[in-house]
Amino acid sequence: MRWRGNKSMWLDLRKIIESPGASAPFAVTLDPEQLRIGAIAGFKRPPEARGEVVNTAGLLNLRGELRAEMICVCDRCGTAFDREKILPLDAPLAADVSDEASPDVFPIEGDGIDVSAVAETLFILNTESKCLCRDDCKGLCPQCGKNLNDGPCGCAAPVDPRLAALAQLLDGGDEQ
């Protein structure tokens, strides 16, 4: 193992490429700035990936787990909340990869692979595009901006402009 650049970890695969059954362990702390996407505002601590690259009958596979404690912002109400993500890592590796033929296979570069890049890619691909503080989040009142999870706001319900004439007829009928 050796480090390349700021936060990438290069895993040398020469010893396991020609040895079926062999494996090479890895443990890497990922750069949180590379993983701040969508509703992820930050991390309580840098995400970590652990596992091994295994040669199974001549096929290399990266297996392990990525753990992240994220600080997210709800897409409906804007409340910040903590969320833990445990992502199983399972990625085939190959020396000769055509992007079009094998989009799920990660390329081996020379004698090894950048484990950080593989883990970061898998994290990004497996992160939800929307983040909710809870499944039944009510969001914000569109009129006053109050968080409806804290209770009703007291604003009048908006009337659909297509039904405004009907609402006036109904209101007029109550006065008589």
What are the tens digits of pLDDT across the range 94-142? 887 665 556 788 988 888 999 999 999 999 999 988 899 999 999 999 9
Q: Residue 155 and residue 159: Cα distance in Å, rounded?
A: 12
DSSP state of 109: B
Sequence spans of domains, the chain: 2-125, 140-176
* b/e code 41-75 from CB counts within 10 Å (16+ = b): eebeeebebebbbbbeeeebbbebebebebebbbb
Q: What is the pLDDT of residues 10-55, one digit of tens each?
A: 898 989 988 889 999 999 999 999 898 888 999 999 999 999 999 9
Q: Report residue 3's pLDDT band, with 50, 70 and 90 as the boundaries.
A: very low
Do the bridges between strand 59-73 and strand 80-94 make them parallel or antiparallel, or are there none, so unpaired? Answer: antiparallel
